[in-house]
Amino acid sequence: MIFNYSDKFIEAEDAVKAVKSNHKVWLHANSCFPDLLVSKLLERYRELQNVTFYQLTTFNQADFVEPEMKGHFTLNALFTSGNVRKAVNEGRADFTPAFLSEIPRMLEESVIPVDVCLLHLSVPDEHGYCSFGVSNECSKIAAECAKIKIAQINPKMPRVLGDNFIHISKLDYIVWHDKELIEVKNTTKDLSDEDKAVYDAIGNNIAELIKDGDTLQMGIGAIPDAVLPLLREKRDLGVHTEMFSDGLVDLMEAGIVHGSRKNFLKDKVVSSFLIGSKKVFDFVDNNPLIEFRSTKFVNDPFVIARNDNLVSINSAIEVDFTGQVCADSIGYRNYSGFGGQVDFVRGAIRSKGGRSIIALPSTAKGGAVSRIVSCLKEGAGVTTSRGDVNFVATEFGVANLWGKTMRERVKSMINIAHPDFREELERKAREVKYLWD
């Protein structure tokens, strides 16, 4: 029987009247950002005071962090995406460092309280179930915890399968919004030839660590985008990853990724959200191979470890020569967030046959600055501890730090630094007695 939901539709400007002063409002993330609802809510800013938004990564213009919104709206970013980075670093928005695996629990225990959840969902199926579409992450659990649930329903939102649905009867207000989703293109396409050569070299070094039958987790950015095309000679790969992307579609269509050798959730590509183009939106739509779940499950290190031969691949801003990884800040300035890096580093190393890889170019600023350093910049946060790190890869090679002494790891890290900086790194290592004759 087709579920009758037409009487639930109202205009967006009426739906957002449910948001009151002092409310805590969760925003659906990535290409599921509820743009219509947010724009109509911002039109009411003069009548609202002290409304707090919570969000992960979003790509839309974030007008709610502009100076004129002070006192009306504020943001607590759980991951600092580019559209709010300036506001966070200027003190116009706040940031909460948190692992993606733990944010759902913070929601469930009201450490992060949610009065209203603004969502962007697929149309209901014949049973009345709407898909969270291309972004489950923490938003499904936020919706379950919210007192009021408001959704914009989009016929162009893919119906992505898995534990990724909410019944329309659970929604308080729904708004029709027929609009194309925001696309995010492959980051390697805009690289200079010189930079592309660096990322290709890093990708080749990583590819040598990946074996037939491995299960992969990829982070976001130029390094995963560079690695995936280099895996076409591999066979029978699986995927258990927080983020799904265009590169995985290419490998699945080529028959390289299918999950038939996975020992856990066999024949399923498990993810929590996707960032990509219309190509990947179309691919995941109603695809029984794809299973989206909350980061409470996907990013749980103990769940990750149930996958044998799990290989995690993540990037960094800088790594010191003892193995401390900074991936979320540049000195005191916040750049991104913890995301799922630590979740997957810890899950991978506990996986039978698993490996974790932190990858980065050896230099920044056109070769003027080494990203392999003697100590992290003042104010920089340690995203992943040196006790957690397994492999570190640059274009100059791979250092295996797991179980290594300070002396061994410092020597290995200097060997994968850019040659222009190795002498200075060695001098500093000797000065602090990490190396000796």
Catalytic residues: 242
Burial class of residue 261 in the structure, from the number of CB atoms within 10 Å of its CB (0-12 exposed, 13-18 middle, 19+ buried): middle
- Could you tell me if 25 and 54 are in contact, meaning their C-beta atoms sit under 8 angstroms apart? yes
Which tokens hold the place of 357? 């890889």
Which tokens hold the place of 102? 């733990």
Which tokens hold the place of 315? 């990037």
CA 244, 249, 250, 256 torsion: positive or negative? positive
Q: Which of 163, 279, 265, 161 is nearest to 215 (CA)?
A: 265
- Could you tell me if 284 and 252 are in contact, meaning their C-beta atoms sit under 8 angstroms apart? no
Q: Measured in whole angstroms, how far is the alpha carbon of residue 6 from the centre of its chain? A: 35
User: Helix, strand, coil % (nearest 5) of the chain?
Assistant: 30, 20, 45
Longest dimension (CA), the chain: 80
Nearest-angstrom CA–CA distance, 233 and 398 = 20
Encode burial over 176-187: b for 16+ CB neighbours within 10 A, e otherwise.
ebeeebeebebe
- Could you tell me if 292 and 161 are in contact, meaning their C-beta atoms sit under 8 angstroms apart? yes
Q: Which region holds residue 200: left if phi is over 0, alpha if psi is between -120 and 50, else beta? A: alpha
Say how many Å lie between the first and final Cα of the chain, rounded: 79
Write the DSSP string, 175-190: EE---PPPP---GGGG
CA dihedral of 254, 262, 325, 185, whole degrees rounded to 10: 30
- Could you tell me if 239 and 290 are in contact, meaning their C-beta atoms sit under 8 angstroms apart? no
Q: What is the 3-state secondary structure (H, E, C) of 194-228?
A: HHHHHHHHHHHHHHCCCCCCCEEEECCCHHHHHHH
Q: Which residues have CB under 8 Å from 426's CB, separation 6+?
A: 414, 435
